[in-house]
Amino acid sequence: MLGLPSQGRARLTTLVPNRNLKVRFATLNVGTLTGKTKELASFFKRRRVDFICLQETRWTGSKARNIGEGYKLMYVGAKHGRNGVAIAVKEDHLENILEVNRINDRLMSIKVLVEETTLLGGDLNGHIGEANSAFKRVHGGYAYGTLNDAGKVILSRAAAFDLAIANSFFAKKIEHLITYKSGQTSSQIDYILINRAHIGRVTNCKVIPGECVAPQHRIVVMDVLFKRHPKEKPTQIPELTKWWNLKGEKIPEFCERLADLKVDVKSDIDTIWEHLPWHHYYEQLLSLPHLAATQLPGLEVNAGLLPPIHPDKDHAEVKKWSIHPRHGKIKEDTAGRRANGGSH
């Protein structure tokens, strides 16, 4: 029943299932990682972030460690505890990481087993301006602030490598564009870049204000769609009967399991066949002129599911078939087919 028009109709919420995989990338200048790992891990989980680029970690060395909530942190830093960068990865994607390249305390990269796409996230310390007609391909026209010299360098490098500044391709409120705020000072200096050819995969890119994980900087998140590759089904190999293990103490155990059949396992195969429980059914089937003549004990009656068998007619039909002498295949006699007006 469809119901009254005023009640409306029940409709599907999704007409076409989404076969793409949405991955969320982020970048954040944390100021320092000391004493913040648990808080950051909880924040990443709450915001459903998969990959996070972190700057100014101020940790020394180059290692990897779990920070909780299913995230693993790979970092590199200077000896004196200055600068430092890191990349946090959700545990669902750890098996897809092919390479971790720690270049210096300001730059590192990871290679992931996905489609050929380059993403760059970081605190670039430059203002690209609200709009720029000279770099329309990499500047989307939705940004915050006034263009400066550092911003010109960012735009020129992005144009040289054909990387689109994702922050500038989505119209947002001012608070969702500002990445740095301290007192009365506010600016946009943190960016996420992606291949210009793949900007169509980006569904959203914005700043999340109101979080206390970083003192001055705000996290920038970007959602990207990737094609979901179906998992290969494991090949099902039938289990082998390990007859070579039938020796020693296992032989009496095997004989005990066959005791219910009441068969002498030491006899030859012909003797065993004659004493099997179903052997007398097989003998009766061979001796009967047709199955409709009698009913075998223990077998159900044909409840009209199959047509009755007529021995004389079937015997005549069998004679129409012969084995092809060359290919060894059963082939119907052509003369018999013509006599019966076609094939069966």
What pLDDT was estimated at residue 20? 82
pLDDT given at position 199: 94
Model pLDDT, residue 146: 92
Q: What CATH class is the domain 20-227?
A: alpha beta
Residue type, 268: D
CB 194 within 8 A of CB 166: yes
Comparing 54 with 311, the larger pLDDT belongs to 54
Quote the pLDDT of residue 270. 74
Enumerate the domain spans of the chain: 20-227, 243-299+310-339
Question: Which residue did the predictor score with more confidence, 5 or 192?
Answer: 192
Non-local (6+) Cβ contacts of 299 within 8 A are 281
Strand extents, DSSP E, the chain: 20-29, 51-55, 61-68, 71-77, 85-90, 97-104, 107-112, 119-123, 163-165, 180-182, 185-187, 190-195, 202-208, 219-227, 321-323, 330-332
Task: Name the residue among 143, 207, 211, 173 with its Cα closest to residue 154.
Answer: 143
pLDDT exceeds 60 at position 305? no
> Given this model, what pLDDT does residue 333 score?
46
The whole-number average pLDDT for the span 132-149 is 91
- Please tell me which residue, 169 or 13, carries the higher pLDDT value: 169
Q: CA 230 → CA 116, 179, 204, 227, 322, distances in Å? A: 18, 38, 25, 9, 48
pLDDT for residue 216 is more than 50: yes
Percent of the chain at pLDDT > 90 equals 50
Please say whether the beta carbons of 55 and 123 come within 8 A.
Answer: yes
Average pLDDT over residues 181-207: 93
Q: Is the pTM of this model over 0.85?
A: no
